[in-house]
Amino acid sequence: MAGEYPNQYATPLFEAIINYAKGRKVSFHTPGHKHGVSIPQEFRNFVGEKIFDCDLTLLEEVDSLHDPRGVIKEAQRLAAKAYGADYAFFLLNGTSGGNHAMILTVCDPGDKIIIPRNTHRSVLAGVVLSGTTPVYVMPERDEAMNMLLNVTPEAISQAIREHPDAKAVLVTHPTYEGIGADVKEIGRRAHEAGMFFLVDEAHGPHLKFHRDLPVSAMDAGADICVQSSHKIISSLTQTSLLLARRTVDVLKLKRILSLLMTTSPSYILMASLDLARMQMATRGRELLSVAIMLAEDARQRINQIQGLSCFGKEIEKKCGANQLDVTKLCVRVAELGLTGYQVAQELNRKHKIQVEYADLDKILLIISIGNTERDVRRLLAALEAIARNAPKAPRGQRNHLRFPERLPEVVMSPRAAVFSTTRKVPLKEAVGKISAEVFSPYPPGIPLLNPGERISAEILGYLRDMLQRGGRIQGQSDPTLRTIKIVEQAAEQKESGPATLENQVKKRFPREPNKIETEKVGADDEKNAIGKL
């Protein structure tokens, strides 16, 4: 099979699926809809018939994702080649699943990992699943724009110096807003210290294919990176790619991926990855040139609209902004006297334009190879109309608060906190307690509190003010912030078993624990108490 698909125009998995569909075999296997026959008519009317022929299961002709030997193996080999990696793996749980796998592969329980404080929550989930201890690095901040930039090599070096025993350095490159890190230098420093270099490249599956975009993680020497192909290039939602080098234990990586992945991967989704790779490898430069031109043109015109501003390449002079992905348009709207939420709502309801995200003072727009000149014209006309009618605000007006400078005290690992016994308490009772959940205000997107960290009055005050100003706080279980989940009993204590009488009684009589004395009991008291049962 190897070599049967010698060039990047081939789409082995997609071709195998089409051939299988053409064969019109009778199905006595999953999926239950049998080539779409039993799919409700309403669904078929809207999407057509053919898509259901592509919805297959593990069959010899279309290979198996968990043990690829045929067309999936070939499709992954072509993807690895296109991206300059030694291995590529199709992911159907997005970059979230890839981040979990990446961390679980290089870190064992108890290991340290250096990560940015504003890392995506899937990285934190990887930390929880693997039982690693995070060492946080603060990204640079641009106060005027109320925006996070990226982490610097210097900040990473400091973390390496303070934690030379860390197993890996992980960075996000580029950020949601398109701000790249100096990945070549950070990778060099991580490797010099004997650590793995991992990159969450969720927003970078296109980087490899155009020289006017930031350097890709693989080209910068990453050991593993994960990309959300579905976010930026043309594969379907949920599909991502994990790329790796021989420097990692690839057998372990495969075992971990298999552990995390569904045993019923969608062939429609996998085919879309095969095709998206082909499209990028064969026409990426040409398609991305158009997207870049559209974005640069839009940026220039947005900057001519009074009250709006959109940073460009000049941001690369700032510390923590190594390279900009110019296809992201991060538009500051605060000088219009409106919040980003208001502008986004008007764009949506009045002009039928959806943005990627909005916050207190800006909106983010993604231009991809799927956008056209017409889209950009509509966007500009809508923004001009909104700006014309906006109340306007004095220049430099800020809707945002100053983020607390100090990170909270870390009392236990995120894993210990997440698996602890928790209790909800009213806000005013939470000071001094240990948080069992994440509180991440947006903007700026840095978690104020992670599980296992001490809750302070300063942090609670910031969270309250943020909510009052219409900001959003993500991650916590009570959106109104009236209550907070705190750690009542740490996981280690739970895991250490029923050492105390209290624990033994709770375990044996779970519904009537308060019938006995549960204050501190010595050995003699324990005997007496047992006698009472």
CB of 191 to ligand PLP, least distance (A): 22
Residue closer to ligand PLP (CB basis): 56 or 280 = 280
Instruction: Using CB under 6 A, pick the residue from 133, 152, 228, 420 that binds ligand PLP.
Output: 228
Residue closer to ligand PLP (CB basis): 96 or 157 = 96
Residue closer to ligand PLP (CB basis): 8 or 150 = 150
Burial 359-379 (b: 16+ CB within 10 A, else e): bbbbbbbbbbbebeeeebeeb
Q: Which residue is nearest to ligand PLP (CB)?
A: 94
CB of 375 to ligand PLP, least distance (A): 22
For residue 202, the Cα-to-chain-centroid distance in whole angstroms is 7
Residue 280: which of 370, 173, 215 has the closest Cα? Answer: 370
Length of the chain, in residues: 533
CB of 172 to ligand PLP, least distance (A): 5
Q: Give the Cα separation of 394 and 14 in Å (integer).
A: 56
CB of 204 to ligand PLP, least distance (A): 9
> Per CB under 6 A, does 451 bind ligand PLP?
no
Residue closer to ligand PLP (CB basis): 35 or 173 = 173
Question: For the window 261-300, what string marks contact with ligand PLP as x by the rule CB under 6 A?
Answer: ----------------------------------------
Q: Which of residues 154-173 bind ligand PLP (CB under 6 A)?
A: 172
Residue located via tokens 């219409």: 470
CB of 25 to ligand PLP, least distance (A): 33
Which residues are 199's β-sheet partners? Answer: 171, 225
Residue closer to ligand PLP (CB basis): 200 or 359 = 200
| Other beta carbons within 10 Å of 135 | 17
66 torsion bin: left (phi>0), alpha (psi -120 to 50), beta (else): alpha
Residue closer to ligand PLP (CB basis): 96 or 435 = 96
Instruction: Using CB under 6 A, pick the residue from 118, 216, 240, 327 that binds ligand PLP.
Output: 240
Q: Give the Cα separation of 171 and 214 in Å (integer).
A: 14
CB of 455 to ligand PLP, least distance (A): 26
* SS3 annotation, 84-128: CCCEEEEECCHHHHHHHHHHHHHCCCCCEEEEECCCCHHHHHHHH
> Per CB under 6 A, does 322 bind ligand PLP?
no
Sign of dihedral through CA atoms 48, 51, 56, 61? Answer: positive
Residue closer to ligand PLP (CB basis): 122 or 152 = 122
Instruction: Using CB under 6 A, pick the residue from 8, 11, 76, 122 that binds ligand PLP.
Output: 122
Half-sphere exposure of 360 (CA within 13 A, CB side): 22
Question: For the window 171-210, what string marks contact with ligand PLP as x by the rule CB under 6 A?
Answer: -x---x-----------------------x-x--------
CB of 151 to ligand PLP, least distance (A): 13
Q: Decide the pairing of beta strands 328-332 and 168-172.
A: unpaired
Q: Which of residues 69-108 bind ligand PLP (CB under 6 A)?
A: 94-96
Give Cα separations from 483 to 199, 231, 295, 463, 472 (angstroms).
Answer: 35, 34, 43, 12, 16
Residue closer to ligand PLP (CB basis): 242 or 382 = 242
Task: Let me know: does 131 contact 103? Beta carbons within 8 Å.
Answer: no
At 435, is the secondary structure helix, strand, or coil?
strand
Residue closer to ligand PLP (CB basis): 230 or 332 = 230
Q: Give the Cα separation of 302 and 328 in Å (integer).
A: 13
> Per CB under 6 A, does 120 bind ligand PLP?
yes
CB of 429 to ligand PLP, least distance (A): 34
User: Which chain residues interact with ligand PLP by CB under 6 A?
Assistant: 94-96, 120, 122, 172, 176, 200, 202, 228, 240
